[in-house]
Chains A and B, each alone.
Chain A
Amino acid sequence: MNMPVSGKPPKKLSLKENYALLTRGLGWETSYEPMDKVFPQCDFEGIKIHDWDKWEDPFRLTMDAYWKYQGEKERKLYAIVDAFQQNNGQFNVSDARYINTLKLFLTGVSPLEYSAHRGFAMAGRNFKGAGASIAAQMQSIDELRHAQTQAHTISQYNKFFSGMHDPIHMFDRIWYLSVPKSYFEDAMTAGPFEFVTAISFSFEYVLTNLLFMPFMSGAAFNGDMATVTFGFSAQSDESRHMTLGLEVVKFILEQDPANLPIVQRWLDKWFWRGYRLLTLVSMMMDYMLPKRVMSWSEAWTMYFEQNGGALFNDLARYGVRMPKYHEVATKEKDRLSHEAWSTFYNFTHAAGFHTWIPEESEMKWLSEKYPDSFDKLYRPRMEYWREQQKQGKRFYNKTLPMLCQTCQIPMFFTEPDDPTKICYRESQYRDNKFHFCSDGCKDIFDFEPEKYVQGWLPVHQVYQGNCMRPGTDPTAPGFDPLAELLQYYGFGSDTPGEYLDSQDRKNWEQWTGKPGVST
């Protein structure tokens, strides 16, 4: 149809023209149906957009350039993954404790990449402006690529170690994975503007350094070249996503002054939700990496207090202030990882990764990094647990914990001004009590209780009898609720729990001849 008849090839478009046609020329005002019926989700959040053409994407990426860059990155990544597999790279990591960070990543983070793929596809469909739609669409494809490359890279570890065989099945069932799952579902069930503010800005722009830096630097420090490589492969996508995040917020704020209070509420909410999610990263940094990069406290100081503080200073000209309760997060930085690791140590008999007590040299590192809290509050319990374990009485907490209705994390967080007292908050709604780990989580519930009363809280689901395989009879003689729960979770033959007792450790020592705990 568009073939040149004269025999001369058509003039090739410049990148700028190409981008302009893609993001402006592709959109139009509908005439058969009103715009509001074609884009039914674009208005209910209260965000007012007057001129979608003001949308500026600093990358101005066109589809043909996009495919070209992504294809090149794929080729490089898979060449390295091949080499990693042929050289048995999985045995070059510091020790088999490190593998547990990959279990956490593959079951807790990779499914979020897939969720982001879905979420951005929906956001792209729902924006009236073609520029924003195209940016969301490209990110949607990026996220699918990340989920895939992570699964492909980590699949080599799955051949040798437990806990990585079915991340999607686990994501939908295991108690602590309801934390990332409910976080993302909260965003996906909001409108498109809240979704992109939550994920593109609050997570990717403000907090992502605290997720990717620990995992990727942790991988590099611990000899895991495969994970470093997919990290690099995703990095240029991530910087595009971060830019999108900042652009989204500026665009919304510049469009109408009435958007500010709505955006500020989202920034408050999604800062807090994202920060609570990063609890899992804090314990990864301080406890799970045999070779540590930096402490959680140091990372929080650098990436949030300093960099995040500067960002919010920049945004002050729009009337935006620091997210509510950021000071609580800063008060918690010397305790978060210790409280989280203690909790996983309590319940690791029902977790998809192992836990352990740090070696003496590692406790020394913790004392140095946390001079005000570790020796006083956390070392005594660790030493007691280690003593018990030596006597063959490894501590497990056999009773299910109370969960926060909003973040769904066990209620182990302590009062902002007293690290020895659990922080309890409560609301009454439609004649029911709801419990929260913090003022941040309580505020989120109180604003939209109709949403959060629907939370699938794993502990309550177990007690309601919904966490068993189909056909299971819990009244049958000899029914073992824990054993059945682990089957429902889809765990394999390796018993979860203590690392020192694990098949992973035995196999590691047998296959590599290296100690299961390197110090």
Chain B
Amino acid sequence: MSVVALKPGYTGEIKDRVENFHGQQVLYIGWEDHLMYAAPLAIPVPATLPFGALTAEIIPDLYGLHPDVSAIDWTRAEWFSSGQPFKPDATKTLAENGLGHKASLRFRTPGLTGIKGSCS
């Protein structure tokens, strides 16, 4: 049973399917141990975006006001996709890296634990 409904066979419209985003897809990004940015972020991006653009520009810009952002060493960053350890290829696109619409990407920067080590 996927819904308790008055009439059998009821289905709902998926409000956030990718076609509704005008050629973009939604990507969620979370920086572990840095909760000064209190929740993970959602951004619209093309599926053809090279993963390298995330680390080169997009993520440093999103978290630009965090005092740790300039200390990120991307060669040591650990990545998770939908919670699973993940090794991105910076030269390939999001789609080629398996990051589809509403993919949830998290990264950890060993050694950086936020303001006064509070994970903020």
A450 contacts partner chain B, Cβ-Cβ < 8 Å: yes
Asked whether, in the complex, the Cβ of A454 is within 8 Å of the Cβ of B13, the reply is yes
Task: Please name all residues of chain A whose beta carbon is closer than 8 Å to the beta carbon of B15 when the two chains form the complex.
Answer: 453-457, 460
B49 shortest CB reach to chain A, Å: 15
Asked whether, in the complex, the Cβ of B106 is within 8 Å of the Cβ of A424, the reply is yes
B70-78, B88-96, B111-119: which one contacts chain A?
Answer: B111-119
* Chain A proximity mask over B20-34: 1 for CB below 8 Å, otherwise 0: 111010101010110
B62 shortest CB reach to chain A, Å: 5
Asked whether, in the complex, the Cβ of A448 is within 8 Å of the Cβ of B3, the reply is yes
Task: Please name all residues of chain B whose beta carbon is closer than 8 Å to the beta carbon of A456 when the two chains form the complex.
Answer: 15
Question: Can you name the residue of chain A whose Cβ is closest to the Cβ of B102?
Answer: A433
Asked whether, in the complex, the Cβ of A397 is within 8 Å of the Cβ of B37, the reply is yes
Task: Please name all residues of chain A whose beta carbon is closer than 8 Å to the beta carbon of B36 when the two chains form the complex.
Answer: 342, 381, 384-385, 395
Task: Please name all residues of chain A whose beta carbon is closer than 8 Å to the beta carbon of B13 when the two chains form the complex.
Answer: 453-454
A125 shortest CB reach to chain B, Å: 14
Q: How far is the CA of A64 from the CA of B15 in the complex (A)?
A: 47
Asked whether, in the complex, the Cβ of A40 is within 8 Å of the Cβ of B6, the reply is yes
B105 shortest CB reach to chain A, Å: 11
B82 shortest CB reach to chain A, Å: 6
Task: Please name all residues of chain B whose beta carbon is closer than 8 Å to the beta carbon of A400 when the two chains form the complex.
Answer: 41-43
A424 in contact with B83 given A342-B38, A402-B41, A455-B15 (CB within 8 Å): yes
Q: Which of A380, A395, A457, A463 contacts B21 (CB 8 A)?
A: A463
A442 shortest CB reach to chain B, Å: 13
Asked whether, in the complex, the Cβ of B12 is within 8 Å of the Cβ of A346, the reply is no
Question: Can you name the residue of chain B whose Cβ is closest to the Cβ of A189?
Answer: B5
A191 contacts partner chain B, Cβ-Cβ < 8 Å: yes
Task: Please name all residues of chain A whose beta carbon is closer than 8 Å to the beta carbon of B114 when the two chains form the complex.
Answer: 380-381
A433 in contact with B103 given A402-B28, A453-B14, A460-B15 (CB within 8 Å): yes
Q: How far is the CA of A241 from the CA of B96 in the complex (A)?
A: 56
A475 shortest CB reach to chain B, Å: 11
Q: How far is the CA of A28 from the CA of B37 in the complex (A)?
A: 60
Asked whether, in the complex, the Cβ of B12 is within 8 Å of the Cβ of A453, the reply is yes
A193 shortest CB reach to chain B, Å: 11
A311 contacts partner chain B, Cβ-Cβ < 8 Å: no
Task: Please name all residues of chain A whose beta carbon is closer than 8 Å to the beta carbon of B4 when the two chains form the complex.
Answer: 44-46, 190-191, 194, 448
B109 shortest CB reach to chain A, Å: 14
Q: How far is the CA of A419 from the CA of B22 in the complex (A)?
A: 37
Q: Which of B16, B82, B83, B119 contacts A432 (CB 8 A)?
A: B16
Asked whether, in the complex, the Cβ of A401 is within 8 Å of the Cβ of B17, the reply is no
- Please count how many residues in chain A sit with their CB below 8 Å of the partner chain's CB atoms: 59
Instruction: How many A-B residue pairs have C-beta atoms within 8 angstroms? Tell me.
Output: 158
B27 shortest CB reach to chain A, Å: 10
Question: Can you name the residue of chain B whose Cβ is closest to the Cβ of A446?
Answer: B2
A334 contacts partner chain B, Cβ-Cβ < 8 Å: no
A519 shortest CB reach to chain B, Å: 24
Task: Please name all residues of chain B whose beta carbon is closer than 8 Å to the beta carbon of A346 when the two chains form the complex.
Answer: 37-39
Most A CB within 10 A of own CB, among B4, B11, B33: B4
Asked whether, in the complex, the Cβ of A380 is within 8 Å of the Cβ of B37, the reply is no
A122 shortest CB reach to chain B, Å: 13
A422 in contact with B101 given A346-B38, A403-B42, A453-B12 (CB within 8 Å): no
Task: Please name all residues of chain B whose beta carbon is closer than 8 Å to the beta carbon of A424 when the two chains form the complex.
Answer: 30, 40, 83, 104, 106
Question: Can you name the residue of chain A whose Cβ is closest to the Cβ of B15?
Answer: A454
A460 in contact with B35 given A377-B118, A400-B42, A449-B3 (CB within 8 Å): no
Asked whether, in the complex, the Cβ of A422 is within 8 Å of the Cβ of B3, the reply is no
B83 shortest CB reach to chain A, Å: 6
Task: Please name all residues of chain B whose beta carbon is closer than 8 Å to the beta carbon of A44 when the two chains form the complex.
Answer: 4-6
A393 shortest CB reach to chain B, Å: 8
Task: Please name all residues of chain B whose beta carbon is closer than 8 Å to the beta carbon of A430 when the two chains form the complex.
Answer: 14
B98 contacts partner chain A, Cβ-Cβ < 8 Å: no
Q: How far is the CA of A45 from the CA of B104 in the complex (A)?
A: 35
Q: Which of B5, B11, B35, B102 contacts A420 (CB 8 A)?
A: B35
A166 contacts partner chain B, Cβ-Cβ < 8 Å: no
B110 shortest CB reach to chain A, Å: 15
Task: Please name all residues of chain B whose beta carbon is closer than 8 Å to the beta carbon of A380 when the two chains form the complex.
Answer: 114-116, 118, 120
B55 shortest CB reach to chain A, Å: 16
A401 in contact with B20 given A346-B37, A424-B83, A449-B3 (CB within 8 Å): no
A14 contacts partner chain B, Cβ-Cβ < 8 Å: no
B34-71 CB contacts (< 8 Å) to partner A: 35-44, 62, 65, 67
A401 in contact with B41 given A40-B6, A44-B4 (CB within 8 Å): yes
Task: Please name all residues of chain A whose beta carbon is closer than 8 Å to the beta carbon of B6 when the two chains form the complex.
Answer: 40-41, 44, 191
B85 shortest CB reach to chain A, Å: 14
B44 shortest CB reach to chain A, Å: 5
Q: Which of A410, A433, A465 contacts B38 (CB 8 A)?
A: A410
The 10 closest A-B CB pairs, nearest first, are A381-B120, A450-B3, A420-B119, A410-B39, A401-B39, A380-B118, A343-B38, A402-B40, A412-B39, A380-B116
Given contacts A342-B36, A381-B114, 18 further A-B contacts (CB under 8 A): A44-B5, A45-B4, A381-B118, A384-B67, A402-B30, A412-B38, A412-B39, A422-B35, A422-B40, A424-B83, A426-B83, A430-B14, A432-B16, A433-B100, A433-B103, A450-B3, A460-B16, A463-B24
Can you report 15 A-B residue pairs in the complex whose CB atoms are below 8 A from each other? Answer: A41-B6, A343-B39, A381-B114, A384-B120, A399-B62, A402-B41, A422-B32, A426-B82, A426-B104, A432-B17, A433-B101, A433-B103, A450-B3, A450-B12, A452-B12
